[in-house]
Amino acid sequence: MSFQNEVIYQAYIKSFKDSGENGYGDIKGVTSKLDYLSKLGITMLWLNPFYPSPQKDNGYDISDYTGIDPIYGTIEDFEELVEEGEKYGIGIMLDLVLNHSSTEHEWFQKALAGEKKYQDYYILREAPEGKEFPTNWQSKFGGPAWEKFGETNKYYLSLFDKTQADLNWRNKEVREELTKVVNFWIGKGVKGFRLDVINLIGKDEILIDSTGDIAQEKSLYTDRPIVHEYLQELSKNSYGKYPEIITVGEMSSTSIESCIQYTQQKNKELTMAFSFHHLKVDYSDGEKWTKAPFDFLELKKIINDWQLGLSKNGGWNALFWNNHDQPRAVSRFGDDQNYREKSATSQAHILHFLHGTPYVYQGEEIGMTNPYFEELKQYQDIESHNAYKLMRTQGKSHKEIMEILQEKSRDNSRTPMQWTSEKHAGFTKGEPWIELAKNYLQINVAKELEHGEIFIYYQNLIRLRKERKVIQLGNYEPILLEHEQVWAYQRNFEEEELLTISNFYGEEIVVDLSKDVKPGDWKYVLGNYGERSFKMNLELAPYESISFIKK
Ligand code: TEU
């Protein structure tokens, strides 16, 4: 198995499967579903953070890097998961948050208690004369990025929630401690790491004010050249010693150039990277908290630029539509009312035949949708609540904000996995920590396995990736880039050519391929409306995706 053949499934553990009654998904719940995951064909399972945490940011605020939060189980449960996973050929990928720790972490607590050693674990600064904070930076969850450090005249940097304190990677001891954490989990048999916002770890010694422009501000702490050195050092002292271990860096506001560098294998930094530019095509003027239609041409252009940029320069993309920070793509770019199954399979088709490693986010394989919550109290996410307050101060009405949250809140993807038509969709025997989407009676795993189209389609996509070199390794070339309804591209490997054409909308269309596709003996490979023969004037049904192959 090499990394080019992997297909990775993301289980948002808190919402995946509760083996007991506390209303939170847990490790035993995950283990009980390995059989299901193996049917899908995935090779690796990424679990969101399950470490002890005050859960201010759903586990991305870690208070002990080598423990397991009792709500999720025990270390024995985890060992059992790794062992069982091995039997199914499914490696476990952990989510490590090394940019910041919870302020409840022992290190921060000791720092607060006055221990100088631990004060240097964090980024503490005084505010210059006449200024309120050390710099004018904004937190990604709203408000200033600095918080008062206890009773001192210093402030600590927190780029996310104020309970998430940025760690000082300039301090060698911090780097050594974090390396130990990675090695601890490798010792437990972990086969992959997803490294949270890892391109933010390189902060300068002297931090300066931004101009107020958000992009310029991010550049002051994002993708700094030293990040490469830190990653090379971490790799050399931990995962880099084990060629089978896969790493994926989650990259906040990154660039193609940086990601080439992070993921070129010769640099020994990371296997691949997540970038997010393609999931900002429904922001209005770069602002997430707006209701705006998505820009299809921009979406294709971004994916195309990343495909070309990384594949032509020895980089490697992590491919995804969904994750725990994003609304459901089927609701966002598809039609979850009239063409739910076709839009789900169509999106999957486009993604799985691209260059890179596909990720499947829990529920995507059964076409789960946004839950369309109607009340503010149904949202649990700190970011959504902060955004609500902010939008109110900007003068938006409650109704307007609720509509925006229905489209943009991270909780759209965090509702419990819909397993059956039983109470709480079979997710828990207790009360779930967050409400379920009401449609679980119609959309659930049991129903999908009986007569659905989506799960089977994912199985086929995953099987084809494992079988065909052209999907794993082929060059990528775009076609019809300016077409306003169709998404199409080719992949080539040795003598083999793969052509993928997809109607991204609900209206039928006839596509003229004659200018872009060379004639030849094109054979059907897979399509979400079943087999069709190739034609230069190809008719596509609503949300139809189809691929042909030629040798
Ligand atoms: O997310 C990093 C990040 O910058 C975004 O995905 C962010 O959550 C989104 O833009 C907000 O609109 C990672 C984790 O995936 C996320 O769940 C954590 O909250 C965040 O880091 C902090 O650890």
Residue where the block lists tokens 């192959």: 549
CA pair distance 301, 436, nearest whole angstrom: 35
Q: In the numeric block, which tokens belong to residue 243?
A: 């060629």
pLDDT at position 461, please?
Answer: 98
pLDDT at position 445, please?
Answer: 98
State the pTM of this model. 0.97
| Radius of gyration, alpha carbons of the chain | 23
Query: Please, which residues have CB within 8 angstroms of residue 76's CB and are 6 or more apart in sequence?
Result: none
Please name the amino acid found at residue 342: K
Our answer on whether the CB atom of 196 is closer than 6 Å to any ligand 1 atom is yes
Segments of 150-299 assigned E as strands: 154-157, 164-166, 192-195, 246-250, 272-274
Q: How far is the CA of 160 from the centre of ligand 1 (A)?
A: 8
Our answer on whether the CB atom of 325 is closer than 6 Å to any ligand 1 atom is yes
- Quickly count: other Cβ atoms within 10 Å of residue 150's Cβ: 12
Q: Whose Cα sits closest to atom 14 in ligand 1?
A: 196
Q: How far is the CA of 325 from the centre of ligand 1 (A)?
A: 6
Q: Whose Cα sits closest to atom 4 in ligand 1?
A: 252
- DSSP 3-state assignment of 287? strand
Segments of 220-293 assigned E as strands: 246-250, 272-274
Among candidates 335, 344, 345, 321, which has minimal Cα distance to 528? Answer: 345
Our answer on whether the CB atom of 307 is closer than 6 Å to any ligand 1 atom is no
CA pair distance 190, 244, nearest whole angstrom: 10
What is the residue-level pLDDT of the chain in tens, covering all 551 positions?
A: 688 899 999 999 999 999 999 999 999 999 999 999 999 999 999 999 999 999 999 999 999 999 999 999 999 999 999 999 999 999 999 999 999 999 999 999 999 999 999 999 999 999 999 999 999 999 999 899 999 999 999 999 999 999 999 999 999 999 999 999 999 999 999 999 999 999 999 999 999 999 999 999 999 999 999 999 999 999 999 999 999 999 999 999 999 999 999 999 999 999 999 999 999 999 999 999 999 999 999 999 999 999 999 999 999 999 999 999 999 999 999 999 999 999 999 999 999 999 999 999 999 999 999 999 999 999 999 999 999 999 999 999 999 999 999 999 999 999 999 999 999 999 999 999 999 999 999 999 999 999 999 999 999 999 999 999 999 999 999 999 999 999 999 999 999 999 999 999 999 999 999 999 999 999 999 999 999 999 999 999 999 999 999 98
pLDDT at position 2, please?
Answer: 82
pLDDT at position 113, please?
Answer: 98
Our answer on whether the CB atom of 544 is closer than 6 Å to any ligand 1 atom is no
CA pair distance 276, 282, nearest whole angstrom: 12
Spatial contact of 267 and 228, defined as CB atoms under 8 Å apart: yes
Spatial contact of 371 and 438, defined as CB atoms under 8 Å apart: yes
pLDDT at position 1, please?
Answer: 61
Q: In the numeric block, which tokens belong to residue 226?
A: 């030293």
Q: How far is the CA of 105 from the centre of ligand 1 (A)?
A: 19
Spatial contact of 363 and 417, defined as CB atoms under 8 Å apart: yes
Tell me the longest C-alpha to C-alpha distance in the chain: 75
